[in-house]
Amino acid sequence: MQTSNINRQVNVTRMSFGRDMRAYPRAIELEGRTYEFVDRGLSCTVTRGAEKTHILTLSDGHREFWLRDGGRGVWTLLGMSA
């Protein structure tokens, strides 16, 4: 599986909530294209001092996407599989 590093802010067009009531994207828009997710994979929280960042793995059924929640509704697409 090839991966592409993207590291760009994306627009989240639809949200959902997990069992822990943590919000996660169900669809994003990048460069005019919409990606809808069908599966939520692994997630982790990274702490640097007082700053916490949540990282998710999501799938649209064909590719995997890695997103970072920067807080305040800012989501960054770190990369995706080809």
pLDDT at 19 over 90: no
Which backbone phi and psi does 50 adopt, to 5 degrees?
A: -90, -10
The predicted structure's pLDDT at residue 76: 96
Going from the C-alpha of 54 to that of each of 2, 32, 38, 57, 62, the distances in angstroms are 23, 25, 19, 10, 23
Please tell me the distance from the alpha carbon of residue 55 to that of residue 69, in angstroms, as a whole number: 6
The predicted structure's pLDDT at residue 12: 95
pLDDT digits (tens, 9 = 90+) for 51-82: 889 999 999 999 999 999 988 889 999 999 97
CB atoms within 10 A of CB 24: 18
